[in-house]
Amino acid sequence: MNSPKPKTPLPSVATENWGDWKWHMRNRIRNEADLCAYLDPTDQEKEAIEATKGVFQWSVTPYYASLMDATDTACPIRRQVIPLPEEMQFDSIGLEDPLEEVAHSPVKNLIHNYPDRVAFCVTSQCAIYCRYCLRKRMVGEAEFMMRKDELREAIAYIAAHSEIKDVLLTGGDPLTLGDAHIEWLLSELSAIDHLEIIRIGSRMPVKLPQRITSELCDILSRYHPVWLNTHFNHPKELTPEASEAIDRLLRAGVPVGNQTVLLKGINDTTKTMRELCQGLVKMRIRPYYLYQAQLIGGTAHLRTSIETGMQIMRELQGHLTGFAIPKYVLDTPYGKVPLTRDYVMGRNDEGVVIKTTRGDVWVEANEAPATGALPSV
């Protein structure tokens, strides 16, 4: 398999360190002084770094920091990971657990919301802490780390529920765990007869692609079917290093999908979303979901309107090949709801009346008797 082609944006970093994911984890930016090696933080950023201490985790890998634009305070990489004072303004609709995950957890860190699937938060650790994170309430927190006996309890729950066919390893980020730990988890889960697939949700290909080593890919390839969903939000994240990491996963037989969160000022334009989707497909990643940002406390400044999201989706339709267009969805405690424009307007004497993606009206002749499910137009 190909090895990553490391680059070293900081002259002080040796090439072999830049290619080593454990070096990046050990050398994450965790304070203002570390950040100054990459850029001069604004007064607002400095204030927010201080104010959010002890409230929400903060760390950035040197790799991800190297993608930040030191001269542009609106840089979409910077805005995903460096806090702003708005984060401490708890808006009236911001919640801690909008998907009611705690209420759906029969054992610690195991969310059983759909009958046939569970989300298994195997760790609370992430390599970076995204400012809009859905699980802000738990990521990076010691009380949500999983001891071996707690992992065993969750695995026993899955083994005891034959209706569960699909397990999503999530967190935190499961790929922050070491190889031996990941192999243990996969072998325990693979031994459960009724489990049909294992999915991994990880942002490592985006924030630390060096983590996708040949050794890790060899492990994943031993426990198929294993799928991986990652989380690119902006075309700036589609780097050669990320592309090589995805190539290693695909060569190991792991299909890769992408979930994007719609974020104000970061990716909420049609141009950005189009470039992102095109770039993902070029890397052989299937754009899967575009999520409406959740009502997490302290993230109002990063949420954009559903109308904006729908407009972007309208403008992608017809301008990108079908499989490059993600589904725009809202996650709720009752499952995902597609936020789609209704193209089918109703029925008239000639057939079914449809509004095309260009806004024209098209009548599709249809002689099957009307069932009454469509309104007369």
Task: Give the shortest CB-124-to-ligand SF4 separation in angstroms.
Answer: 9
Q: Which stretch binds ligand SF4 (CB under 6 A): 32-40, 165-173, 307-315, 319-327?
A: 165-173
Task: Give the shortest CB-350-to-ligand SF4 separation in angstroms.
Answer: 49
Q: What is the DSSP string of 301-346?
A: GG---HHHHHHHHHHHTTTS-GGGSPEEEEEETTEEEE-----EEE
Is 130 a binding residue for ligand SF4 by CB under 6 A? The answer is yes
The partner residues of 167 in beta bridges, in order of sequence, read: 118, 198
Nearer to ligand SF4, 108 or 319 (CB): 108
Nearer to ligand SF4, 18 or 56 (CB): 56
Nearer to ligand SF4, 17 or 202 (CB): 202
Nearest one of 120, 9, 23 to 65, comparing CA atoms: 9
Describe the crossing of helices 179-190 and 148-160 by its angle, rounded to 10 degrees. Answer: 20
Nearer to ligand SF4, 242 or 352 (CB): 242
| Residue written as token pair 């700036």 | 236
Query: How many CB atoms sit inside 10 A of residue 331's CB?
Result: 16
Q: How many residues form the binding site for ligand SF4 (CB under 6 A)?
A: 10
Which residue among 4, 19, 172, 309 contacts ligand SF4 (CB under 6 A)?
A: 172
Which residue among 49, 84, 126, 189 contacts ligand SF4 (CB under 6 A)?
A: 126
Nearer to ligand SF4, 203 or 248 (CB): 203
- Window 184-223: contact mask with ligand SF4 (x via CB under 6 A): -------------------x--------------------
Q: Which stretch binds ligand SF4 (CB under 6 A): 16-24, 36-44, 124-132, 316-324?
A: 124-132
Which residue among 87, 173, 183, 237 contacts ligand SF4 (CB under 6 A)?
A: 173
Asked if residue 211 lies in contact with residue 239, where contact means CB atoms within 8 angstroms, the answer is no
Q: Which stretch binds ligand SF4 (CB under 6 A): 44-52, 167-175, 218-226, 283-291?
A: 167-175
**Main-chain dihedrals φ then ψ at residue 220, nearest 5 degrees:** -55, -40
The side-by-side arrangement of strands in the sheet containing 197-201 is 110-114, 117-121, 166-170, 197-201, 226-230, 256-262, 286-292, 327-332, 335-338
Nearest one of 341, 348, 340, 342 to 364, comparing CA atoms: 348
| Long-range contacts, 78-81 (Cβ 8 Å, 24+) | 78/39, 79/131, 79/263, 79/265, 79/266, 79/302, 80/130, 80/131, 80/132, 80/233, 80/234, 80/263, 80/266, 81/128, 81/129, 81/130, 81/131
Which residue among 139, 217, 228, 312 contacts ligand SF4 (CB under 6 A)?
A: 139
| Collapsed DSSP state (helix, strand, coil) of residue 15 | helix
Cα 161 to Cα 192: distance, rounded to the nearest angstrom: 10
Task: Give the shortest CB-57-to-ligand SF4 separation in angstroms.
Answer: 8
Which residue among 24, 135, 199, 303 contacts ligand SF4 (CB under 6 A)?
A: 135
Which residue among 38, 58, 129, 157 contacts ligand SF4 (CB under 6 A)?
A: 129
Binding site for ligand SF4 (CB under 6 A): 126, 129-130, 133, 135, 139, 171-173, 203
